Amino acid sequence: MTSKNKINEDLANERRKCNFNIEEVTYILDGGKEKTLQRKKIEDVALNGGASVDDIPEEYLSARERYENAIRKSCIYTNIVKNEVLEITGIENYGSPVLRRTGDAFFKDISPFMLHLGMFVPSIIGQCTAEQQATWLPRALDMKIIGAYAQTELGHGTFIRGLETTATYDPETEEFVLHSPTITSYKWWAGGLGRTANHCTVVAQLYTQGKCHGTHLFIVQIRDLETHMPLPGVKVGEIGPRMGFNTADNGFLGFNNYRIPRMNMMMKNAQVLKDGTYVKAARHGKLTYGTMVFVRVTLVGEASFNLAKAVTIAVRYSAVRRQSELRPGSIEPQILDYPTQQHKLFICIATAHAFQLTASWLWNTFTAVQAEMKKGNVDTLPELHALSSCLKALSTSDATAYIEQCRFACGGHGYMLSSNLPFLYAFVVATRTYEGDYTVLLLQTARFLVKAWEQAESGKVVTPTVAYLNRHFTTNGKMIWDNSPEGIIRVFQSVAAGKISLCVRSIRNRITSGMDHEDAWLMTTVQLVNAAEAHCRSVILHTYWNEIVRLTKHSSDNVKTVLNQLVMLYLTYWALERTGDLLRYSTISENDIDLLQRQYEELLVKIRPNAVGLVDAFDIRDEILQSTLGSYDGRVYERLMEEVQKNPLNKEPVDPSFHKYLKPLMKSKI
C-alpha cells in the first residue's frame, strides 16, 4: 500500500472494532443483495473511467465556465448511461435513484439535465395519452429533445390555481395560443430552462369556447433544435445566482401569443377536441398534479441519501479528528468519543435509515395506488397525497437540519466547500421549499386528518395510516406510558390524535362564536401544522420500527442488535424531544423521563464502536461523496492541503492587486 492510499490509523482501528457484517446492512438499505450488486455494477461502469474529476474544482469557476463545465459533464454522463449503463439495467431504469446517485460523482452542484429526467419525462409518462407518449417519450429518453418543467411563475408558486399563463384554444387553426399577460405570469424557477432546454412542460390556464377550465399541462418547444435560438414569441433566460443550484440554469419564460398544435396538450386526464369541446376524462379533480406527487415520493429517498452522505463525512472526520484534553497530559481524544458529538451524529445515521425505509414503503404505496388508478379506482389517492405531502415536508426539513448539524460537527473545516457539506446543505434546503413548501404541504395533510377525525368520530373505520383515530374514540383518558417500541409508537399516535382533536375543537369553537369556516380554519393553522407534524412523526416511527422488524428477521445476531439499537435510539430521541407532548397526552412520569434519558445515553455508548461501520454500510464511493473530510481512507489533512494547491489564488506568489491597490495605499500619506 502506498502512502497515498494508506488508511488513517484511527479509522483503520474503528473498522477493526466494528462487530457486525457491514454488507448485510448495505443490502437491507438497498432493498436486497441483488439491488446492491446491480448498483455496484452501475457505479463501476459509470465511474471507473474517472470522468468526474475536475482539474479546477467547480467552485473556482466563473458562472459561465461553471455552466459550460456542467453541460460538458452532463453529456459525458448521459453518454455513459445511454451506451453502457442501460445495456445492463434496461431502459426502464432511466431516471432511477441509482443513476441519480451515481450522477452525483459528476457534479458537486446540480446537473442542468436534472429536471429533464426528474419532471419533464415523468410528466410525459404520467400526463400524456399512449399516442402522445409514443411521439414524445422516445425522443426525450434519447435526449433528442431536452425538457424542463415550467409551472411556477414570478407571482405564484404555491397557489397553482392562481397561475396566470393562458392557453387559449383556436379551433380555426387547431392550435393553442400561449400568452403571458402580466410580469407576474412569467414562468420563473424551472431548472434547466434558462440555457439548456429546447422543450418544456408548461402549466397554463386552459380557455376553450370562452370558458376557463383551470390549469392544464402542455408540451412546448421553446428553442430551435439546430440553432438553439428561442423561437419567435418566446422570451427565455436564466434567473441569476442563488444559494445553491447554480449549475442548474433555473430560468424564466414568457410567451407572446405563441402557438402550439392542439395535440401538444397533455391529454391523459382531459381533452380538447378539434372543435374546442372540453372533455374531462379524469375521475379525480387533481390528477394534473400527479407529477408533483411522484416527485414528492422520490424526495423522501433523496433526503435520506443526502443525509447519509453528510453523516458519512462527519463520522469519518470525527474518527480522524482529535481535539482537547480530558485529563492533563492525556492523549487528545477522537472527537467521536465525546457523547455530545455522538448525540449530534448518531441521530443522523438513524434518521437516514428511517427515511430510507420509509421511502421504500412510500414508493410501494405509490405504485399500489397507481395500479388502483389504472383500474379506475381513485379512492386511495387522498391518503397518498396526505402521506406524500407530510413525508416530503418532514424528511426534507429534518434532513436540512441534520446536514447542518453534521457541518457543525466538523468545526471550521466543515465550512470549507471542499468538505461538500455546504453544497449538500444548499441542495437539501431547497427541497424543503420546492415541490411544495413545508407549511403548505403539512396543511394539505391536516385537511385529510381533520376529515379522517370526523369519520372516526362518526364511527366509521378509517384508512390504515390514521387507524389510531378509531382507537382514540374507544379509549378513555391519557395513553398509558410504556417504554417498549410499540408503546412509544402508540403514545406518539395518541399525541397526534390529541392534537388533531384540539384542532377540530378549536375550529368548532371559532365557528360557534361566529367565524365562518375559512376564518376558523385560518386561525387554527398554527395548530394544524403542529398536528400534521405529529401525525407524520408517528408514521415515520411506526414504519421504521415495522420495517426493521421485518427486514432483520433473517439477519445475523450482530446486525439485528445494531439495527435495533439505532431504531431504539431514534424512538428514544424523539420521546425526549417531545416530553412536553408526552406529559400532556400520556401517563409518562418524571421518573420515566429520567429512565429514557439514561437509556438514550447508554445507546450512544453501545453504538459508538460501530459508528464508522454504520456509515461505511451506506457504501457511498469517494467519487460520490466528493469530500476532503469524508473519504474512505481518512486522509483529511493531506486532502485539505492538496486542495489548496488547486486554488488559482495561489498560482502567483504576489497578487497583481498588490501593485495596483495595496502598495499605493501603503505609500499614501495621511
Ligand X SMILES: Cc1cc2nc3c(=O)[nH]c(=O)nc-3n(C[C@H](O)[C@H](O)[C@H](O)COP(=O)(O)OP(=O)(O)OC[C@H]3O[C@@H](n4cnc5c(N)ncnc54)[C@H](O)[C@@H]3O)c2cc1C
Instruction: List the binding residues for FAD.
Output: 152, 191
Asked if 40 contacts 27 with a C-beta cutoff of 8 angstroms, the reply is no
Rounded to a whole number of angstroms, the minimum distance from the CB of residue 248 to ligand X is 7
Residue 194 binding: pick among ligand GRA, ligand X, none (C-beta 5-8 Å cut-off by kind) = none
Q: Cα separation of 195 and 301, whole Å? A: 29
- For 86-110, b/e burial (b = at least 16 CB within 10 A) is beebeeebbbbbbbbbbbbbbbbbb
Question: For residues 438 and 618, which CB has a smaller minimum distance to ligand X in the complex?
Answer: 438
Annotated binding site: 152, 191
Asked if 93 contacts 86 with a C-beta cutoff of 8 angstroms, the reply is yes
Say how many CA atoms lie within 13 Å of 407 toward its Cβ: 19
Q: Which of residues 40-99 bind ligand X (CB under 6 A)?
A: none
Q: Is 430 in the site for ligand X (CB under 6 A)?
A: yes
Rounded to a whole number of angstroms, the minimum distance from the CB of residue 62 to ligand X is 21
Between the alpha carbon of residue 585 and those of residues 111, 480, 536, the distances in Å are 47, 9, 17
Residue 397 binding: pick among ligand X, ligand GRA, none (C-beta 5-8 Å cut-off by kind) = none
Residue 210 binding: pick among ligand GRA, ligand X, none (C-beta 5-8 Å cut-off by kind) = none
Q: Which stretch binds ligand GRA (CB under 6 A): 332-340, 343-351, 429-437, 608-616?
A: 429-437
Q: Is 295 in the site for ligand X (CB under 6 A)?
A: no
Q: Which stretch binds ligand GRA (CB under 6 A): 77-85, 235-243, 433-441, 581-589?
A: 433-441
At residue 110, φ and ψ (nearest 5 deg) are -120, 145
Q: Is 286 in the site for ligand GRA (CB under 6 A)?
A: yes
Cell 429520567, located at residue: 594
Q: Is 245 in the site for ligand X (CB under 6 A)?
A: yes
Please identify which of the residues 435, 533, 547, 623 carries the catalytic annotation.
435
Question: For residues 450 and 571, which CB has a smaller minimum distance to ligand GRA in the complex?
Answer: 450
Asked if 544 contacts 358 with a C-beta cutoff of 8 angstroms, the reply is yes
Q: Is 194 in the site for ligand X (CB under 6 A)?
A: no
Rounded to a whole number of angstroms, the minimum distance from the CB of residue 561 to ligand X is 41
Asked if 405 contacts 428 with a C-beta cutoff of 8 angstroms, the reply is no
Binding ligand X (rule: CB under 6 A), the pick from 439, 455, 506, 587 is 439
Q: Cα separation of 146 and 114, whole Å? A: 10
| Cell numbers linked to 578 | 417531545
Question: For residues 140 and 263, which CB has a smaller minimum distance to ligand GRA in the complex?
Answer: 140
Binding ligand GRA (rule: CB under 6 A), the pick from 103, 118, 122, 634 is 118
Residue 439 binding: pick among ligand X, ligand GRA, none (C-beta 5-8 Å cut-off by kind) = ligand X
| Cell numbers linked to 494 | 395518541
Cell 441519501, located at residue: 305
Rounded to a whole number of angstroms, the minimum distance from the CB of residue 610 to ligand GRA is 34
Binding ligand X (rule: CB under 6 A), the pick from 26, 89, 111, 151 is 151
Binding ligand GRA (rule: CB under 6 A), the pick from 52, 102, 151, 185 is 151
Any catalytic annotation for residue 435? yes
Residues 6+ positions from 279 with CB-CB distance below 8 Å:
270, 271, 272, 273
Q: Are strands 199-208 and 211-221 parallel, antiparallel or unpaired?
A: antiparallel
Residue 385 binding: pick among ligand X, ligand GRA, none (C-beta 5-8 Å cut-off by kind) = ligand GRA
- For 170-181, b/e burial (b = at least 16 CB within 10 A) is eeeeebbbbbbe
Rounded to a whole number of angstroms, the minimum distance from the CB of residue 265 to ligand X is 18
Binding string, residues 177-196; x marks residues near ligand GRA by CB under 6 A: --------------x-----
Binding ligand GRA (rule: CB under 6 A), the pick from 112, 436, 498, 613 is 436
Supply the DSSP string of 311-366, one letter for each residue.
Answer: HHHHHHHHHH-B-S-SSTTPPPPBGGGSHHHHHHHHHHHHHHHHHHHHHHHHHHHH
Neighbours of 510 (CB within 10 A): 18
Q: Classify the C-alpha dihedral 33-35-36-37 as positive or negative.
A: positive
Query: What DSSP designation does 230 have?
Result: B
Asked if 105 contacts 71 with a C-beta cutoff of 8 angstroms, the reply is no
Q: Cα separation of 493 and 221, whole Å? A: 49
At residue 328, φ and ψ (nearest 5 deg) are -55, 130
Between the alpha carbon of residue 70 and those of residues 78, 364, 473, 627, the distances in Å are 12, 33, 56, 18
Biggest distance spanned by C-alpha atoms of the chain: 89
Q: Which of residues 438-497 bind ligand GRA (CB under 6 A)?
A: 440, 444, 447
Question: For residues 134 and 522, which CB has a smaller minimum distance to ligand X in the complex?
Answer: 522
Q: Is 190 in the site for ligand X (CB under 6 A)?
A: yes
Q: Cα separation of 196 and 194, whole Å? A: 6
Question: For residues 151 and 527, which CB has a smaller minimum distance to ligand GRA in the complex?
Answer: 151
Q: Is 626 in the site for ligand X (CB under 6 A)?
A: no
Residue 381 binding: pick among ligand GRA, ligand X, none (C-beta 5-8 Å cut-off by kind) = ligand GRA
Q: Which stretch binds ligand X (CB under 6 A): 144-152, 402-410, 593-601, 635-643?
A: 144-152
Asked if 442 contacts 393 with a C-beta cutoff of 8 angstroms, the reply is yes
**What kind and span of H or E run contains 242?**
none
Q: Is 586 in the site for ligand X (CB under 6 A)?
A: no
Q: Cα separation of 413 and 643, whole Å? A: 12
**What kind and span of H or E run contains 439?**
helix 438-457
Binding ligand GRA (rule: CB under 6 A), the pick from 107, 149, 438, 573 is 149
Question: For residues 247 and 552, which CB has a smaller minimum distance to ligand X in the complex?
Answer: 247
Rounded to a whole number of angstroms, the minimum distance from the CB of residue 39 to ligand X is 27
Q: Is 434 in the site for ligand X (CB under 6 A)?
A: yes
Binding residues (CB under 6 A) for ligand GRA: these are: 114-115, 118-119, 149, 151-152, 157-161, 191, 286, 289, 292-293, 295, 381-382, 385, 434-436, 440, 444, 447
Binding residues (CB under 6 A) for ligand X: these are: 115, 149-152, 156-158, 189-191, 245, 250, 430, 433-437, 439-440, 443
Just list the catalytic residues: 435
